Amino acid sequence: MKHFRSNNLALFLICLIMTCFVVVGCGKKGADSEKVMSKTTEKAGQAVAGKAVETERPVPSSAPITEERVFYDFEYDLAGWEIPMWALGKSDYVAKDAKRVEGLASSGNGSLQIITDFSGGLWSAALIEIQQYLDLSKYRVISVDIYLPPEAPVGLKAKLILTVGSNWKFVEMSRSVPLVPGKWTVVTANVEPGSYDWKRVVPNEEFASDVRKVAVRIEANRKPQYSGMINIDNIRVGR
């Protein structure tokens, strides 16, 4: 009888030890599972958050422009536009003079005329600008009309340049628009948040609200040679 009781006691102890191992093992596996689930949920949350950020990125409107406001039409004077002093002192900037003329305009009767001397052989540009604070945040685009005489060569291009913010950041268009001899060419850039019309800058909500300068630059990349006039008119914004 004593021998039978000893055997039962030994069997009971073995079962108890095995039960403890199972419980401890399950507990560890359960903890590990919770950790894996937590990490998976965290990664999923990050993925969802990243997707939300991408979805919420502003996109410029594709609707047609239905309203415009002209800032500079040169009907009476140059309205403050000039060739900057720093450009007059550089050999690769070739605008020699700027004046108001009548009888050649994209709208009205007057326009701004630049006298240029593109000698060819290297990159060169004619630039004219105005320093004036402008809040363009209510508008979607800024545009300018540029006229190239019929005798001018093919190859000249133009772009708009803005100086924005309290740090006077120089921001030029990401592309240059080819000018067509004998015609007025419209150069337009979008200033809405999310626009890709500007080099190395994607506008935010504050971009167009603090414009300090507006400039027009006509460029020749080595080949075009041209000495003569180029007219600028009807600098405007639209929405």
Are 138 and 120 spatial neighbours (Cβ–Cβ below 8 Å)? Answer: no
**Mean pLDDT over the full length of the chain:** 85
Count Cβ atoms below 10 Å from residue 131 Cβ, excluding itself. 14
* Percent of the chain predicted with pLDDT > 90: 73
pLDDT over 80 (residue 205): yes
pLDDT tens digits for 49-68? Answer: 554 445 577 889 889 999 99
Break the chain down into helix, strand, coil percent, rounded to 5. Answer: 25, 40, 35
pLDDT tens digits for 141-195? Answer: 999 999 999 999 999 999 999 999 999 999 999 999 999 999 999 999 999 999 9
Higher pLDDT, 88 or 21: 88
Higher pLDDT, 98 or 30: 98
The CA distance from 65 to 182, in Å, is 26
The backbone torsions φ and ψ at residue 151, rounded to the nearest 5 degrees and listed phi first, read -80, -5
Q: Where are the alpha helices (DSSP H) in the chain?
A: 2-55, 85-88
The CA distance from 107 to 114, in Å, is 18
